[in-house]
Chain A
Amino acid sequence: MKTTGRLYHAHSNTFIYCELSLSDECVVFSNDEGLHERLPKPRLVLGMAIKGQAQDITLPDGRRFLCDDKTFRLNQHSTSSFIERSEQHKGLVIGAIFFCPLLLYWLFFIAIPHVAASSAGHLPQSVIETIGQQSMTLIEKAALEPTQLDEQKVANAERIWLELINQLQLNEQKYRLGFYQSEFFGANAFALPHGQIVVTDDLILKLADYDDAFRAVLLHEIGHVEHRHSVKIAAQTAGTTVALAIVFGDLQGIVDLALGVGTAIMQQQFSQGMERQADDYALSNLLKLGYKPEHFATALEIISQGTDDDSQSWSKYLSTHPHVKSRIEKARTYKHP
C-alpha cells in the first residue's frame, strides 16, 4: 500500500513531500529526491484517530508525517481506531441520546442523595459541633440581634423547652434554645446541626397564647436535628455541584443556567422531603408524650395567617415550608402509625 503526504522536519516549520509505503512490519518513506528510509512500525508514535482527519505519525527523531488522505489510519486495530468507530456508531449515538438523561437522572436524584444521606449519618459529633458553631457565628453576625422580649415571655418559652427536652430524654448539653430579634427571618424558627435551635421574637409573640403550638414547632425543629437534615442537605449540595462540574465541565455558558435551575429544583424536593420527616417526628412525639397532633396544625395555621397582612416576612417561612394546607390536613388526621 502506498500513499502520499508531508514529512515535517523535526522542531521546524519546514517540510518535504514524500511517499509512504507500508508492509507488515515496516514503513518506508521515500521521494524523488533521494529520500529512502525504512522504519519498523513499533518505533512510530501514532496520533489520534478522529473522523475526517488523517492519523499523524511521529518518527523517533521528532519528524512528523501527515498523510494527504484524510481517512488514513496506520493501524486499524489500535485503541484509538476503536474509539473512533464507537464515536461514529449509530446505535451508540442513539443510545447516548436516550441513556444520558436517564443516567443523569439516576446520578443526581438517586445516587448522590443516597450517598449524601449515608455519609452525613457517619459524621462524628465533634465535626457536626464545629459545623454548627461556625454557621451560627456567621448567621448571628449577618441576621440576628439580641432579643427584645420581656423576661416573662422568655422564661415561659424556656420552661416549655426544658420540659420537652426532659420528656424526650435528650441531652441538655447538646440541645440549646436561643432567642433573637431578626428582621431578616421574620417569624421563624430554625435548627443548626449541632443542636442549636433559634426562635425569633416575632414567632414567640405570634404564639404567645398557644404554648402547645409553640411546643409543636420546637418538636419540628428537634426533628430536623435528630435526622441531621442540614448536614445532609449540605452534603447533597456539595455532591451535586461537584458532580455537575465534573460531568459538564466541558460545556459552557448556557448549561450553567440550566444547571442552576436544576440544582434549585433538586434542593427544593430534597427539603420538602425533610420537612415531611420533621413533621412526622413532631406529630409522633406529640402523640407519644400525650399531647395532640392538632397543636401542630394550630401552629401552622397561626403562622400562615400572617401571609395576608405581613407577606414580606411570612413568605420566607412559607417558601421553605410549602404545601401548608396539606400539612395542616395531615396534622389534623394524624393517627399513630
Chain B
Amino acid sequence: MDLQSVNHIENAAPKAQRHTVQFSGDAASYFSLWAVNILFTILTLGIYSAWATVRNKQYFYGHTSIDGHRFDYLATPIQILKGRILAAMCFTFYIVSSSYFPLIAALFLFIWMFAVPWVINQGLRFNLRMTRYRNVQFSFAGNYKDAFINFIVLPFLSIFTLYLAMPWVLKRIDTYIHNNIFYGDKKLTVQLTTSEYFRIAFACLFTVVGVAIVIGVFTVVLGSIDDLAQQPQLLGGIIVLFNFLMITVVAGMYQAMIRNHIFNNAQFEQVARFESNLATVDYVVLVFTNALAIVCSLGLALPWAKVRKAKMLAAATSVCVYPSAEHVINVQLESQSSFAEEAANVFDIDISLT
C-alpha cells in the first residue's frame, strides 16, 4: 500500500470527516434523457433497453457524490443485454408453458425455486461490482447455501409461525446482504437488532389497521351517497385505489425506518460509517405524492418522482470518513486479470429484466 501518497494528498486530520451525500441531478434533464431512451427502446423493440438501463443508472450514480467524489456505474450495455436475453428466455419459457403446458410450468417453478438464491447472489454480485467510488469497486461475497437458507428456507418456515417470525427473517436477509458487501478489500459490518425489526413491523401493522378503519368509515359514508351506490364499479375502483395507496404508505414507512436502522449500524471498519436520519413522515408523504403524481400524469411524472426521491434520500444520508480510508485498494481489478475470472465472465451478468 502506498502510504506516502496518503500524506501527499491530504494532511489527513485524525478525526473522521462527516459528509452529507449530494445529489446534483434535476428533473428537467432527467426527464428528457428518460423520454428519449424509452422512445429508442420501443423503436428497437426492446433491444436498446440495455443501453437505456446503463444510461439511466449512470445518471443517478454519477450525480450522487460524497466529499466531491462521484459514483460510477460500470456495466456495459452488452453485459446487460446478455442478462436480459437470458432472463427473457426463462420468462418466455415460463409464460408460454404456463399458458400452454401447465404441468411443465409447475415443474419449472419447482426447479426455479432452487435457482432463485443463485440468481439473487448473481444480481447482488454484479451490481456491486459495477459500482465504483473513486477508483475502487464494491463487491459481494455471499454464497449459495446462506442465500438458500435466508431467501427460501426461513421465509417458508415462517409460514408455520403464522408469519410471526417474519421480522426476524427479514433481519436475517438484510444482515446476509449487507454483511457480505465489500468496498475494495474492506468488509461492511452491520449490527442489526431483532427487537428493532419487530418494533418496525408492529408500527406498520398498526398503521395498516388504522388506515383500514379510516377507509372503512369512508366507504360507508360514500356508500350512503345514492349516486355512488348505484355505481358499484366506481365504488370498487375507489376501494382498489385506496388499497394501492395504503400499500404505498406502509411500504414507504417500512423502508424509511429499516433504512435508518441499517445505515446507522453499518460501517466499513476503519474506513467509514454511515448515518441516515430519514424522517418517516416526510418519506411517506414523498412516496405517496410521487405515486399520485405518476398515476395522474399517466407515467410522465416518473422522472420527476425519481429525482425527488433521490434528493431526499441523499440529503438524509451522511458518511463519516476516517483518515485511513485512503488505504482501501481495489481487489476487483487485480483478480480480473486471471484467466479463470475471464471464463467466469461469461456469466458475469445480472439475470433480471429490471
Contacts and interface: CB of A to CB of B under 8 A. Distances in A.
Contacts of A39: none
Interface in B72-96: 72, 84, 88, 91-92, 95-96
A11 B329 contact: yes
A286 B354 CA distance: 52
Given A11-B135, A13-B136, A246-B353, A251 B299 contact: yes
A73 to B, nearest CB: 14
A96 B303 CA distance: 14
A53 B327 contact: no
B2 A12 contact: yes
A9 B5 CA distance: 9
A53 B333 contact: no
B49 A107 contact: no
Contacts of A52: 24-26, 29, 62-63
A176 B266 CA distance: 66
B99 interface: yes
Given A62-B333, A87-B36, A250-B56, 20 more contacts: A9-B2, A12-B135, A12-B328, A48-B55, A48-B58, A50-B33, A51-B33, A53-B58, A88-B29, A88-B32, A96-B39, A100-B42, A134-B103, A138-B102, A231-B100, A237-B95, A238-B96, A247-B41, A247-B42, A251-B302
A160 interface: no
B196 interface: no
Given A12-B136, A12-B329, A13-B325, A87 B95 contact: no
Interface in A58-73: 62-64, 66
A325 B326 CA distance: 78
Contacts of B54: 48
A254 interface: yes
Contacts of A135: 100, 102
Interface string A222-262: 00000000010010011001110111011111110110000
Contact of B135 (A10, A48, A242, A253): A10
Given A234-B100, A246-B46, A249-B49, A15 B32 contact: no
20 contacts: A11-B334, A13-B326, A48-B62, A50-B58, A51-B32, A53-B63, A56-B72, A66-B70, A87-B32, A100-B38, A131-B101, A135-B100, A231-B100, A238-B96, A245-B88, A249-B49, A251-B299, A254-B294, A254-B295, A254-B299
Interface of B: 2, 5-6, 8-9, 24-26, 29, 31-33, 35-39, 41-43, 45-46, 49, 51-56, 58-59, 62-63, 69-70, 72, 84, 88, 91-92, 95-96, 99-104, 134-136, 184, 244, 291, 294-295, 299-300, 302, 325-330, 333-334, 352-354
Contacts of B300: 97
B134 A243 contact: no
Contact of B37 (A63, A87, A89, A130): A87
Q: Which of B38, B53, B70 has the most CB of A within 10 A?
A: B38
Contacts of B244: 257
Given A16-B8, A52-B25, A135-B102, A100 B39 contact: yes
Nearest to A130: B101
A92 B39 contact: yes
Contacts of B35: 92-93, 96-97, 100
Nearest to A89: B36
Contact of B5 (A14, A56, A87): A14
Contacts of A121: none
Contacts of A16: 5, 8-9
Contacts of B354: 249-250, 252
6 interchain residue pairs of minimum CB distance: A8-B135, A96-B39, A11-B330, A234-B99, A246-B46, A249-B353
B101 A250 contact: no
Contacts of A137: 103
Contacts of B58: 48, 50, 53
Contacts of B326: 13-14
A230 to B, nearest CB: 9
A100 B42 CA distance: 7
B23 to A, nearest CB: 11
Contact of B36 (A47, A62, A66, A86): A86
Contacts of B9: 14-16
A300 B327 CA distance: 80
Contacts of A246: 46, 49, 84, 88, 353
Contacts of B104: 134
A83 interface: yes
A170 B36 CA distance: 54
A254 B92 contact: no
A26 interface: no
Q: Which of A14, A250, A253 has the most CB of B within 10 A?
A: A14
Contacts of B99: 234, 237-238
B134 A15 contact: yes
A253 to B, nearest CB: 8
A131 B105 CA distance: 12
B39 A95 contact: yes
Nearest to A111: B45
Given A9-B5, A11-B333, A12-B2, A249 B84 contact: yes
Given A8-B135, A89-B36, A247 B291 contact: no
A241 to B, nearest CB: 5
Contact of A258 (B38, B53, B55, B299): B299
A159 B43 CA distance: 56
A99 interface: yes
A8 B326 CA distance: 11
A103 B300 CA distance: 16
A104 interface: yes
